[in-house]
Structure 1
Amino acid sequence: MNTLLNEVLEAHGGMDRRRQLSSARATLVSGGDLFALKGLPQDPTPREMTVRLHEEHASVAPFGAPDQRTGFTADRVAIERTDDSVVAERAHPRTSFDGHVLETPWDPLDRAYFNGYALWTYLTTPFLLAMPGFDVEEIEPWQEDGEEWRGLRATFPDTTASHSTRQDFYFGPDRLLRRHDYHVDIAGGFAAAQYVYDITEADGILLPTRRRAYRRDDDLRAIRTQVMVSIDLSDIRFS
C-alpha cells in the first residue's frame, strides 16, 4: 500500500479500528447553490444520514415527507416509506444523467442519487481508498494556508458511484484531510474544490464535520464567490 496512504489511514483512526465498525450515522444539514440550479433548493431541516462502511449503501430520512427515506446503492436508487413500501425507484440511475449540463433540472430520484453517493464517499473517506478496486498514487503537493498538503489521486472502480472516476485528496502535515477535488459528472462535469473543517473524533474515527464545495478554476484554485454545496454534520456515531 502507498506509504502516504498508510500514514493517512493511521491519522484518521487506523485500519484496525475501522475493521471493527460496519456503519455510520450522522445528523445532516446541507445547502448550496447547486440545488437551486437544479430546481430543488435545499431547506435547512436536519436529516438523519446512514451509510454502510464496507459496501456502497446509504439512506437519508426524512426525504420528501416525514415518513419517507431514500435507499441508495450504485445500481439502484429509491424513495421508500418507513414501512418499506416503495414510492419511486430507478435502476441504473447513472444513465438518467446522460446529456445533463449544470442547469439541467433534477427530479427527486436524481437528488437522492447525488445525496447517496456523495455522503457515502464523505463518510467513508479516507478509508474507501484502501477498498478493493481503488488505484491510488501520490501527486504533486498543494501549498495553501502556510502549509504543504500532500496529495493522493484515486481512480475509482467502475462498480463504485461517486462524483467522477478520478478524484484528488489533500492532507496536511498531520495527515488529516484538508481538501477534496473532483468533477461532478452528473451536473455537466464542473470542477469542484471542497474544503473540510472542524475535524472531530467519533468512536475512534476522525472526520470533518463541515464541508464547503466551490467551483474550481483552471489553476486549481477555488472560486470562493459561489458555494455549490455546503454540508454540516453533527451527532456522528459509528457502530
Structure 2
Amino acid sequence: MTDLLTKVLDAHGGLDRYRSISTMTLDIEYSGPFWDFKGHPDFAGTEQVVADLHSQKISQRRPDGRTVEFDRAKSLVTVTSADGTILDKLENPRATFEGYTSETKWGLAQMAYFRCYATWHYLPEPFLFAWPGASTEEVAPWVEDGQSWRGLDVTFPDHVDTHNETQRYYFDDDGLLRRMDYQPVVNGYSPTAHYVTAHTKIDGFVVPTKRNIYIRQEDGTPDRSWIPIELTLSNISIK
C-alpha cells in the first residue's frame, strides 16, 4: 500500500471503520442534461439509494415507486414499477454497450445499469482501492487554481464494474478526494473530469456529498461551460 493510499484511507475514516459497516442508505439528487440526452429525462430527480459497501449491489427507488437494482454477482440489472411489474431487465448488461459512442441513445435498463454501477462505485471509494485485486500507483500531481493535488492511478479487478479499468484520482493536502479522471467504456470512452466539491462526516466515515461531472478537454482541463451530470447526496446513514 502506497503512503498516499494510507493517508487517503485514514482521511476518509480508516480501514477499520470501513470494515465495521456494511450498508449505506441515502438520498441522491441527479441533475444535468445528460439524462435527457441519452433518452431518459425521467432519470433526473431524487432517488432513495441503498448500497452494499462490500459487494457491488445497489438499489435506487424514486418517489413514484419505480426501482432499479443492480447485482454484479448476478450480472443483472432490473427496472420495476411500484407494483412489482418488471419494466426492463438485462443480463450481462455491460456487453450490450459494445460499439456504442458518446452519441448513442440508451435503453431503459442500460441507463439503469450506468447509473447503478457508477453510483455504487462512488460510495465505498477510496476503500475500494484496497480491495483484493486492486492496485495503485502514485502519479504526478494536478495543479489547478493555485492548488496542487496528489495523483493516484487505481486499476480495478475484473469483478468490479467501473467506468474503465484504470482511473486517476487526485487528493488535497488533507487526503480528501477532489477530482477523478476516467473514460467510460459504455459511453464511447468519452474523457471525463469529475470533481468533488463538498464532504460530510457520518459516524466517522467521510462521504463526498457534491459531485460535478464535466467533459475533459485535450489539455486535461474541464469544459466548465456546462455540467452534464450533477450529484447531490443527503440524508446519509451507515450501518
TM-score band w.r.t. shorter chain: over 0.9
RMSD over aligned Cα atoms: 1.6
The amino acid across from 1:198 in the alignment is A
* Residue type at the aligned position of 2:194: Q
Q: Does 1:39 align with 2:53?
A: no
2:66 counterpart (59, 65, 68): 68
1: CA distance, partners of 2:84 / 2:3: 44
**Alpha-carbon shift at residue 60 of structure 1 (Å):** 0.3
Stretches of structure 1 that go unaligned for 5 or more consecutive residues are none
1:79 aligns with 2:73: no
1:105 matched residue in structure 2: 105
Percent identity of the aligned residues? 37
| 8 A Cα contact 1:30 1:42, kept in partner | no
What's the offset of the Cα at 1:85?
5.8
C-alpha distance in structure 2 between counterparts of 1:87 and 1:29, whole Å: 22
Assess if the C-alpha contact under 8 Å between 2:135 and 2:154 holds in 1. Answer: yes
The verdict on how the C-alpha distance between 1:36 and 1:166 changes in structure 2, with shifts beyond 3 A counting, is: same
Q: Give the distance between the partners of 1:131 and 1:43, measured in 2 at CA.
A: 30
- State TM-score, norm by structure 1: 0.94
Taking the TM superposition and a 5 Å limit, the aligned residue runs for 1:37-186 are 37-42=37-42, 45-62=45-62, 66-74=64-72, 75-81=75-81, 86-186=86-186
Runs of 5+ in structure 2 lacking a partner?
none
C-alpha contact 2:35 2:44 (8 A) present in aligned 1:
no
Give the superposition deviation at 1:184. Answer: 1.5
- Asked whether the equivalents of residues 169 and 179 of structure 2 are also in contact (C-alpha less than 8 Å), the reply is yes
Report the CA distance between 1:86 and its aligned residue. Answer: 3.8
> What is the rounded CA distance, in whole Å, between the counterparts of 2:38 and 2:235 in structure 1?
29
Q: Tell me the alpha carbon deviations over residues 158-196 of structure 1, each in whole angstroms, 9 at most, x when there is no partner.
A: 111111111011000011010011001111110000111
> What is the one-letter code of the residue matched to 2:64?
P
More strand by share: 1
Aligned length: 237
- Return the offset for 1:36: 2.0
Aligned to 1:198: 198
